[in-house]
Chains A and B, each alone.
Chain A
Amino acid sequence: MSDIPRISRRSLFRGVGSATLVAGCAAKTPTPAPAPGLDPAAPPLAGTALGPGPAPLRFTLNGAPQTLEAAPSTTLLELLRHQLDATGSKLVCDRGACGACTVLVDGAPQPSCMTLAHDVEGRGVTTVEGLATNNQLSPLQRAFIEHDALQCGYCSSGMLMSCQALLNRRGATDAAAVEHAIAGNLCRCGTYPNVVAAVLSVAKGGA
Chain B
Amino acid sequence: MADGTRKLKVGFADQLRDIEVALPAGEPQPWDATTKLDVVGKPHPRIEAAAKVTGAARYTHDQRPAGLVHAAVLRCPHPCAVLDALDLEPARGAPGVLAVLAVAKPGDRLLFAGQDVAALAATTPQQAHAALARIAVRYSPQPFVVDTTAAMQPDAPLVHRAQVRERSTEGDEPGTPTGSSQRGNLRMSPSQKKGDVDKGLRQAKVTHEATYSTQAHTHSALETHSIVLRWDSPTSLTAWCSTQGIFSVRDELAEVFGLKPQDVHVITDYMGGGFGAKFGASAPGSRLGFIAGELARQARAPVALLLDRREEHLCTGNRPDSIQQVTLGAAADGSLTAIKVLAHGSGGIGTGAGVGRNAFAIYTKCPNIRVESHDVFTHAGPATAFRAPGHPQGAFAIELALDELAVKLGKDPLELRLAHNEHPVRRHQFELGRKQFDWDNKRKRVADERQRNTRLRHGVGVAASIWGDFGRGKAVVASLSVGRDGSIELRNGLQDIGGGITTVVAQVVAEVLRRPLADIRVRIGTSELGPSVGSGGSNTTSSVTPAVRAAAEAVLQQLRELAGKQLAARRPEDVLWDSKGARVGGKSIAFVDLCKHIAGEAIVATGTRPDTYGAYPSRFMGGNSVAIAGVQFAEVELDTWTGLVRATHVLALHDCGRVMNPLTCRSQITGGIILGTSYALSEQRVMDKRHGVMLNPNLDSYKIAGARDVPAIDVVFTEVHTGANNTGAIGIGEPATIPTAAAIACAVFSAIGTPVRSLPLTPDRVLAALGAIPTAAPARG
Say whether A and B bind each other: yes
Which positions in A face B, CB cutoff 8 Å? 1-6, 8, 10, 73, 81-82, 85-98, 100, 127-129, 131-132, 137, 141, 144-146, 148, 150-157, 160, 178-180, 182-196
Closest to B136 in A: A2
* Residues of B close to A91: CB separation below 8 A: 61
A156–B667 CA distance with the chains assembled, in angstroms: 14
Contact B671 A190, beta carbon cutoff 8 Å: yes
| Interface pairs (28), CB distance under 8 Å | A1-B74, A1-B77, A3-B77, A5-B133, A8-B129, A87-B55, A88-B56, A90-B59, A91-B61, A95-B309, A97-B699, A128-B54, A131-B54, A145-B49, A151-B664, A151-B667, A154-B272, A156-B52, A186-B706, A188-B704, A189-B498, A189-B667, A189-B671, A190-B673, A190-B705, A191-B667, A193-B710, A194-B670
Closest to A192 in B: B707
> Which one of B124, B125, B132, B498 contacts A153 once the chains associate, using CB atoms below 8 Å?
B498
Contact A86 B55, beta carbon cutoff 8 Å: yes
Contact B46 A145, beta carbon cutoff 8 Å: yes
Closest to A182 in B: B707
Q: Does B206 contact A (CB under 8 A)?
A: no
> With contacts A4-B77, A154-B273, A195-B707 known, is A190 near B54, CB below 8 A?
no
> With contacts A100-B222, A131-B54, A150-B53 known, is A188 near B668, CB below 8 A?
no
> With contacts A182-B707, A194-B670 known, is A188 near B139, CB below 8 A?
no
A141–B54 CA distance with the chains assembled, in angstroms: 8
Contact B710 A98, beta carbon cutoff 8 Å: no
Given contacts A128-B54, A137-B54, 6 further A-B contacts (CB under 8 A): A3-B137, A96-B700, A150-B53, A153-B272, A157-B55, A185-B706
A107–B580 CA distance with the chains assembled, in angstroms: 49
Contact A128 B706, beta carbon cutoff 8 Å: no
* Residues of B close to A189: CB separation below 8 A: 273, 498, 667, 671
**Residues B429-448 near A (CB distance < 8 A):** none
A191–B46 CA distance with the chains assembled, in angstroms: 14
* Residues of B close to A82: CB separation below 8 A: 124-125
* Residues of B close to A151: CB separation below 8 A: 273, 498-500, 664, 667-668, 671
* Residues of A close to B308: CB separation below 8 A: 94
Contact B675 A190, beta carbon cutoff 8 Å: yes
Contact A95 B700, beta carbon cutoff 8 Å: yes
**Residues B490-517 near A (CB distance < 8 A):** 497-500
CB proximity of A123 to chain B, nearest CB, Å: 20
Contact B55 A154, beta carbon cutoff 8 Å: no
> With contacts A92-B222, A190-B674 known, is A148 near B663, CB below 8 A?
yes
> Which one of A2, A94, A155, A188 contacts B309 once the chains associate, using CB atoms below 8 Å?
A94
A10–B309 CA distance with the chains assembled, in angstroms: 14
A202–B325 CA distance with the chains assembled, in angstroms: 51
CB proximity of A158 to chain B, nearest CB, Å: 9
B220, B497, B698, B699 interface centre (most CB from chain A within 10 Å)? B699
Closest to A156 in B: B52
A5–B708 CA distance with the chains assembled, in angstroms: 37
* Residues of A close to B411: CB separation below 8 A: none
> Which one of A10, A89, A146, A153 contacts B52 once the chains associate, using CB atoms below 8 Å?
A153
* Residues of A close to B498: CB separation below 8 A: 151-153, 189
CB proximity of A117 to chain B, nearest CB, Å: 13
> Which one of B53, B124, B272, B666 contacts A144 once the chains associate, using CB atoms below 8 Å?
B53
* Residues of A close to B50: CB separation below 8 A: 137, 141, 145
Q: Does B642 contact A (CB under 8 A)?
A: no
Closest to A187 in B: B222
* Residues of B close to A97: CB separation below 8 A: 698-700
Contact B699 A141, beta carbon cutoff 8 Å: no
> Which one of A3, A95, A96, A150 contacts B46 once the chains associate, using CB atoms below 8 Å?
A150
CB proximity of A204 to chain B, nearest CB, Å: 19
Closest to B306 in A: A91
Closest to A181 in B: B707
CB proximity of A44 to chain B, nearest CB, Å: 25
CB proximity of A127 to chain B, nearest CB, Å: 7
CB proximity of B552 to chain A, nearest CB, Å: 25
CB proximity of A201 to chain B, nearest CB, Å: 13
CB proximity of A66 to chain B, nearest CB, Å: 17
Contact A85 B64, beta carbon cutoff 8 Å: yes
CB proximity of A29 to chain B, nearest CB, Å: 13
A2–B137 CA distance with the chains assembled, in angstroms: 6
Contact B699 A93, beta carbon cutoff 8 Å: yes
A190–B54 CA distance with the chains assembled, in angstroms: 20
